[in-house]
């Protein structure tokens, strides 16, 4: 499967150049993000439209910017008394890897195949 975005696209989404640590992870994340987007866009449009490229690079940028141990964490609260820790996750995230947000799905909507009824008589 071809990658649907480049490292340059990811840098545009991040608003900065990739660090050495990011550069090590970016190829694998681009592969994962491309597969994720391809699973939503059936059939995959050729050449790759700008919206598909943007969504793919946003997925990777989001994964690079998130804490590796806690992807998608929106806020964290800690307190010393009673040893409490509370984390709130964004509504669009899932733990464990790259994810599609609601706005990503909206951008890809035009590239999704809908349900088609075919008369058989």
Q: pLDDT-derived band of residue 37, with 50, 70 and 90 as boundaries?
A: very high
Domain membership of residue 88 (yes or no) is no
The 10s digit of each residue's pLDDT in 71-111 is 556 667 777 777 877 766 665 555 556 788 889 989 998 88
Does the residue 75 lie in any domain? no
**What is the number of domains present in the chain?**
1
Please provide the size of the chain in residues: 121
Q: Could you list the residue range(s) of the whole structural domain that residue 54 is in? A: 7-69+97-111
Q: Are 3 and 34 in contact (CB under 8 A)?
A: yes
Residue 117 maps to a domain = no
CA dihedral 95, 29, 15, 111 (to 10 degrees): -90
Report whether pLDDT(48) > 80: yes
Query: In this structure, is residue 105 part of a structural domain?
Result: yes
Confidence band, pLDDT 50/70/90 cuts, at residue 33: very high
Please determine, for residue 14, whether its predicted confidence score (pLDDT) is greater than 90: yes
Q: Is the CB of residue 93 less than 8 Å from the CB of residue 71?
A: yes
The pLDDT of residue 25 is above 80: yes
Cα distances (Å, whole numbers) of residue 89 to 22, 56, 85: 23, 21, 13
Confidence of residue 42 (pLDDT cuts 50, 70, 90): confident
pLDDT value for 91 = 58
pLDDT of the residue at 89: 65
């Amino acid at each position: 499967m071809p990658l649907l975005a480049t490292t340059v696209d990811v840098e545009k989404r991040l608003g900065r150049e990739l660090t050495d640590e990011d550069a090590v992870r970016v190829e694998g994340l681009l592969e994962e993000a491309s597969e994720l987007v391809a699973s939503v866009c059936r059939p995959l449009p050729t050449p790759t439209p700008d919206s598909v490229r943007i969504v793919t690079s946003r997925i990777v940028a989001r994964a690079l910017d998130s804490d590796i141990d806690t992807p998608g964490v929106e806020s964290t609260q800690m307190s010393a008394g009673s040893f409490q820790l509370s984390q709130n996750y964004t509504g669009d995230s899932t733990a464990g890897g790259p994810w599609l947000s609601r706005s990503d799905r909206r951008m890809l909507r035009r590239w999704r195949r809908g349900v088609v009824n075919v008369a058989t008589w």
